[in-house]
Amino acid sequence: MKGMPVVLQSDVGDIVHSRAFLIIAIIIGVLTIGAAVGITIALNRWLAPGLAWEDAKPMLELFMGLVVNYTPLIVLFTCMATWATDPIAKEKAKGPIESLLATPLTAKAVWIGKSLAIFLPAYIIGLIATVIVILVVNFASIVPTTGHFVLLPSQAVTSFLFLPLLMFALISLGVFFSLITNPVIGQTIVIFIGVILLQVVGQVGGRITWLLASWDYALYNLAGAVLLGVTAFYLSRSLSKERIILSSKGKWA
Amino acid sequence: MSEAIRLEGVSKQLGGREILKGVSFAVKRGDIFGYLGPNGAGKTITIRILLGLLKPTSGSAYILGENVSKDEARRKVGFVLESDGLYDNKTAEENLGYYARIYGVTQPAGRIDRILDLVGLWDRAKDKVGTYSKGMRQRLALARAMAHDPELLILDEPTAGVDPSGQIEVRQVILNMAHKEGKTIFLSSHNLDEVQRICNRIALIDRGEIKLHGELEQLRRERSANEVEIETTEAIAEPLFTELKSLSHLGLRERKDKSLTFVLQEGVRVPDIVSLLVRRGVEIEGVSRKEASLEEIYSAMLKEAEPL
């Protein structure tokens, strides 16, 4: 993995200085503020003065479960769909990937460096957005009304650790397929799995709501991350410079 | 270790087609080695194998004594590939800095300034590469190849698509790298004039097979048509020309203003012709043996390789 941090640093710089990053950051910023304000107004109407904490607690915890799951998921998914395939497709078509691989860098160092470079900015944006929503909703609505701060440890672990891990595994798979095949295939895989994840969270939130406030849900996320991670690790054995080069020349490996 | 590159029976199959067929040759340290061949002959595939981008189906390739299958083998190699691989959104400095860090160059700033100066791009160091002309991009690609001060430079058609003045600049940079920096250069090209101007050794590849390999001057001598040009102080008068022409064993081929060209026949030596001319009162200015041009060698090779 020698040289991987150099790829990571350079790619993070490219992403952060790109116009796409600015646009995504603005859109997510607007959505975050909108969501925080909207949720606060809705909760202030629902949380009538005098409502017993015991009565409000289960509902608020489930509600917070939805917030802390959906916010990072949407952010990570948006960033991933933007950065995991198109920039790699351009690098393959114009030659920078071939030049990188002609150095002492290994194919795995390039893969992991590029995957982390997509994940880290997305994770930081997602983290900031989620923290903003949690703080605004709690301090503008829940704490003044109930006197309690709502965020379960299982939700925090899911939102800040397991779900991002799951998304990192998904990003690495997307980058892997973008490197060794037509990047459109990589993009299709990322979007397909990402949409399934959004659906799963939506369905869980809508039907078996108790799950979003449980450690079980956190562990499901961890299991998903491990499953995708092991899949990526297993597939990475077939990652070679030759496969990347031939796929760049239109010969899908 | 006096060899910079060694290929031993390297073959490569892609899509069921044998692209390289047992290619073997060596490049000595200090050489400017020209790797010639028509499009599709296997030049770029050879370079990709040397740079570890493709694995040979059989045979072995070594760079500075290391098998090319090891990523570390490329630590002392710089390269320019078919597409320059530069990042348009980065400046020249940033492009070079990126590669310098990959190769672990300590304190790269001074090195970057020096090589940008060497390729004549010092004043454009802070401009985005997207604004560069093709010739400037190629010079920057050469600078990138030098970022880590490698011993060997592998260049795949570095002047392709560059205008004539840009070609001269790129060629000058290559010569500077060889002569001032003491680098070994492996230059793939189908620009025969360029190779003849700057290379001391060559290999010719066609349809995946090495057809010729050796020192350029020696190949030119060996492949020369045994032509001798004799320069005279005065133009040869018509009667003498007719007489010499009638002596068919001399092999007189043509008369120019103040020179005669002979194709040496078996048993006839240059001094024999010279003394005959002197006896006829011709004053000799000089005698030179004409060597085959690289173009003639190349054309002859392709002709020989044509299927019957």
Of the candidates A100, A240, A182, A248, the one whose C-alpha atom is nearest the C-alpha of residue B55 is A240
Burial of B125 (0-12, 13-18, 19+ CB in 10 A): middle
pLDDT tens, residue by residue, A53-73 = 788 888 888 888 888 888 888
DSSP code for A1 = -
- Greater confidence, A124 or B181? A124
The pLDDT assigned to B32 comes to 94
Q: Do B83 and A94 make contact, defined as CB atoms within 8 angstroms?
A: yes
Chain A segment 10-29 residues within 8 A of B by beta carbon are 10, 14, 17-18
Q: Which of B14, B51, B55 sits opposite A102 (nearest CB)?
A: B51
Q: pLDDT at residue A252 above 70?
A: no
Which residues from B are below 8 Å from A17, CB to CB?
89
**What does the block give as tokens for B137?**
């991009």
d(CA A130, CA A136): 10
Name the minimum distance, in Å, from the CA of B104 to any CA of chain A: 8
Q: Hey, is the C-beta of B52 within 8 angstroms of any chain A C-beta?
A: yes
Q: Is the dihedral of CA A168, A174, A178, A179 positive or negative?
A: positive
- ipTM higher than the 0.85 cut: no
Q: Do B102 and A246 make contact, defined as CB atoms within 8 angstroms?
A: no
Burial of A196 (0-12, 13-18, 19+ CB in 10 A): exposed
**What does the block give as tokens for A194?**
């990402």
Q: Do A241 and B52 make contact, defined as CB atoms within 8 angstroms?
A: yes
Pairing of strands B184-189, B152-156: parallel
| Mean pLDDT, all residues of chain A | 84
The pLDDT assigned to A209 comes to 58
Which residues from B are below 8 Å from A106, CB to CB?
71
pLDDT tens, residue by residue, B148-196 = 989 999 999 888 877 888 788 888 888 988 888 889 999 998 888 888 8
Q: Do A14 and B101 make contact, defined as CB atoms within 8 angstroms?
A: no
Q: Which residues contact A51 (CB under 8 A, 6 or more apart)?
A: A145, A146
Q: Would the pTM count as exceeding 0.90? A: no
pLDDT tens, residue by residue, B76-113 = 899 999 888 999 989 999 999 999 999 988 888 888 99
d(CA A1, CA A109): 5
d(CA A41, CA A233): 45
Q: Determine which helix (DSSP H) or strand (DSSP E) holds B294, and give its type and residue range.
A: helix B294-305
Q: Which residues contact A62 (CB under 8 A, 6 or more apart)?
A: A205, A209, A210, A212, A213
Contact A76, A190 (CB under 8 A): no
Q: Do A241 and B89 make contact, defined as CB atoms within 8 angstroms?
A: no
Contact B155, B186 (CB under 8 A): yes
**Domains contained in chain B, CATH given:** 3-215 (3.40.50.300), 225-290 (3.30.70)
- State the Cα angle at B27 between B25 and B32, rounded to 5°: 130
Chain B segment 5-34 residues within 8 A of A by beta carbon are 14-15
- Closest chain B residue to A18, measured at CA: B89
Q: Percentage of chain A surpassing pLDDT 90?
A: 24
Contact B199, B34 (CB under 8 A): yes
The pLDDT assigned to B201 comes to 94
Q: Mutating which of A2, A99, A105, A246 best tests the B interface, going by the most B Cβ atoms within 10 A?
A: A99
Contact B210, B204 (CB under 8 A): yes
